[in-house]
Amino acid sequence: MWADYEQDLLAVEDRLLQFAGDANDYIRDVTSHIIRSGGKRLRPLLMVISSRLSGYSGPDMTLLSAVVEFIHTATLLHDDVVDHAEMRRGRPSANQVWGNQAAVLVGDYLYATALWMATGIHIHEINDVLTLACRKMSEGEVLELMLDNNLAAREEDYFNVVECKTAALTAGTCRMGAILGNLDPLRKKALEDFGYYIGMAFQVADDTLDYMAQKDRLGKTLGKDLSEGKMTLPLLHCLAHSPTPQREVLVQRIGQGEITDMHLGEVVGFMKTTGSLDFSLERAVSFMRKAKQSLDPFPDSLHKQNLLALSDFIIERDL
């Protein structure tokens, strides 16, 4: 699948570095640090495949692929400040190297640059999609902050955060591919739905992998969400279904902010007892199935098959 779009994705990398290089030295250093650290490039890949599925392969596809990756990168810079993160993709996080102020301000610059880049296409519908996605992502950041260490949090609250922080951008990305291809409203909505469900599946799977993935392949510290008090689906399910003694232990530690990496094994044991990991993975699989179903309006093609394959990869990676 990656080989089918290798040249497209290389062009995206060139565009990312080009726009990063247009800034002053300080911004360029911070931006290049996080861009060159790699990442899955899921959003650019979704942009490329959605565009090609829609019959478009022009330069705006490359530009918008860089735009969505810049927006995603901005959120990573902000997240690391909020979470006091020390590492990002196996390297010191930008806030550790340059400080919180620089990380926040460069994140703001990337948001503004991405939206400015998109206005050059002169398609009003694309501007609407991107600005709405950015608004929802900012809302999601705030909602997640309110959820941290919140013992009253519900699964609905968690899914609301995932919808805003992750699914809004992946849904918008796929819709923009359909817009470039000038598809009819039905297929625009179908691709948007695919992106939405892929985003939901990706984040739920990612949050579950935090407790069960192979440590050397996860790309972040195992149990990182636990140490930061993140109320993700596995933990919420575990709290709701644990026997009273286990729940009291979890409640006490979460409420007092005492959960550390040392408790990871104990918490994972609780999650296995309550079936919380299997439950969370099944929810991710459910979103993945809905993503696949969303592609029914499209005839079979290489690009459709690759989107279906990507759906499977979202669930199966690094388990």
146-198 tens-digit pLDDT: 999 898 999 999 999 999 999 999 999 999 999 999 999 999 999 999 999 99
Q: Check pLDDT > 70 for residue 258.
A: no
pLDDT above 90 covers a percentage of the chain that reads: 75
pLDDT value, residue 5: 96
d(CA 264, CA 261): 5
Instruction: Please give the distance of CA 170 from its chain centroid, rounded to a whole number.
Output: 8
Answer whether 20's CB lies under 8 Å from 81's CB. no
Higher pLDDT, 221 or 105: 105
* Model pLDDT, residue 319: 44
CA quadruple 136, 40, 202, 89: dihedral positive or negative?
negative
* Per-residue pLDDT reduced to its tens digit, 131-140: 999 999 999 9
Fold classified for 3-316: Farnesyl Diphosphate Synthase (1.10.600)
pLDDT above 90 (res 27): yes
Q: And the tokens for 227?
A: 């140490």
pLDDT digits (tens, 9 = 90+) for 110-126: 999 999 999 999 999 99
Q: pTM for the full model?
A: 0.94
Residue-wise over 154-189: b if at least 16 C-beta within 10 A, else e? eeebbbbbbbbbbbbbbbbbbbbbbbbbebeeebbe
Sort residue 38 into left (φ over 0), alpha (ψ -120 to 50) or beta.
Answer: left
Q: Residues 123, 174, 148, CA angle at the centre, nearest 5°? A: 110
Average pLDDT over the chain, rounded to an integer? 92
Q: What is the pLDDT of residue 59?
A: 97
Is 36 within 8 Å of 68 (Cβ atoms)?
no
Q: Place 127 in a pLDDT band, splitting at 50, 70 and 90.
A: very high
